[in-house]
Amino acid sequence: ANDRHHYKPKKVDPNLTFADLERGQIREGKVVEMNESKAYLDMGGGITGILDISRAAWAFSFKPEEVVQIGETIVVKIAGYKKDQNAVTVTFEQPPYVQGSLLAMDPHTGEILAMVGGYDFRESPFNRSYQSKRQPGSAFKIFLYTAAMDNGFTPADVVLDTPFVLEGPGIYWRPHNYSRSCSGPMTIRTAIEQSINIVAAKTIDRVGVETVVEYAHRMGVKSELVPVYSLALGSSDVTLMDMVTGFATIANYGVKSEPYAIRYIIDRDGNKIEEFGPVQEEVL
């Protein structure tokens, strides 16, 4: 899942004080001095930013002037304080134009192990891991083929990867493969391996759109799905949490685990006032 957001780092402020700074803050600084390992930045208000440019050595060999030059204004992130030197340590920063999200879940319990909702919560509290809806594309084929395997198909079934048009009242759909070519007869196993769109389209035509919608919901997709043939290619918007829950159901041998992020809540005396655990259902 991704999203575009334009971050505006704080400018060099002649009235800057330590009270205005915090770790993780993104600011501009003007390079005023440098040596073989460090660059010194004017952050404003007489506060110096110390940038350890030698940290980039793991990535490539460089000369200091190939990284930054005196007089340049660069974007950095506040990493620490050196008040005795009236300075802060900083690191290179590049506010993103496109953001993404990450969700890691234990498929056997539903415990959320890691969640990244975006670049910086302070700049954008929108959590893309469960609030953002995007087209999943071919990743959605897992629900199509699960429904197919559960309704009489086998990985060894042969489907023709040939040009195909679906026509009906209000329907004209001519799917094509990413390669814009066709390969003729192939097994469903191969079609899954190579993510062949035409075979997926022919499969949903035989399995039925409503059946695929039912299986997707059963496996953990909570977003509303548009019941159209292109659903086979992931045309309906879903959340990242929808997709992770669905894939986790496969990893857990057909048992769906509801995602949860909090194990228990305690009061100030250390007493558990609420506890959470796996909520599971055999769905396949």
Shared domain check, 187 and 122: yes
β-partners of residue 257 are 280
The residue to which tokens 């350890």 are assigned: 52
- End position of a domain, from candidates 31, 64, 92: 92
Give the pLDDT confidence of 129-164 residue by residue, as tens digits.
999 999 999 999 999 999 999 999 999 999 999 999
β-partners of residue 270 are none
In a domain, 161, yes or no: yes
Shared domain check, 86 and 107: no
Shared domain check, 61 and 163: no
Q: What is the DSSP string of 91-127?
A: EE----SEE--EEEE-TTT-BEEEEE-SS-TTT----
Burial tier of 61 (Cβ tally within 10 Å: 0-12, 13-18, 19+): exposed
Q: What's the mean pLDDT in 226-250? A: 97
96 against 28, higher pLDDT: 28
Boundaries of domain holding 24: 3-92
β-partners of residue 90 are 51, 78
Residue 105 pLDDT more than 70? yes
98 against 185, higher pLDDT: 185
User: What is the C-alpha separation between 255 and 90, in angstroms, rounded?
Assistant: 47
| pLDDT band with cut points at 50, 70 and 90 for residue 7 | low
Q: What is the pLDDT of residue 170?
A: 86
25 against 209, higher pLDDT: 209
Shared domain check, 23 and 44: yes
Residue 61 pLDDT more than 70? no
Q: What is the pLDDT of residue 37?
A: 86
In a domain, 109, yes or no: yes
In a domain, 54, yes or no: yes
Strands 47-52 and 87-92: parallel
Residue 276 pLDDT more than 80? yes
Burial tier of 38 (Cβ tally within 10 Å: 0-12, 13-18, 19+): middle
Give the pLDDT confidence of 65-80 residue by residue, as tens digits.
777 889 999 999 999 9
Shared domain check, 86 and 161: no
Residue 185 belongs to a domain with what CATH number?
3.40.710.10
Q: Which 3 state secondary structure label does DSSP give 24?
A: coil
In a domain, 270, yes or no: no
In a domain, 273, yes or no: no
Q: What's the mean pLDDT in 31-55? A: 91
Shared domain check, 248 and 148: yes
| Counted domains in the chain | 2
In a domain, 280, yes or no: no
User: What is the C-alpha separation between 191 and 160, in angstroms, rounded?
Assistant: 10
Shared domain check, 60 and 17: yes
Shared domain check, 148 and 226: yes
Q: What is the pLDDT of residue 62?
A: 66
Contact present, 97 and 6 (Cβ < 8 Å): yes
Strands (E), the chain: 3-4, 26-34, 38-44, 47-52, 73-82, 87-92, 98-99, 102-105, 112-116, 158-161, 166-168, 171-173, 184-187, 255-257, 264-266, 272-275, 280-282
In a domain, 158, yes or no: yes
Shared domain check, 112 and 170: yes
Q: What is the pLDDT of residue 258?
A: 97
Shared domain check, 126 and 63: no
Q: What is the pLDDT of residue 53?
A: 83
Give the pLDDT confidence of 29-42 residue by residue, as tens digits.
999 998 888 999 99
Shared domain check, 158 and 126: yes
Shared domain check, 210 and 112: yes
In a domain, 264, yes or no: no
Roughly how many angstroms between the first and final C-alpha of the chain, as a whole number? 27
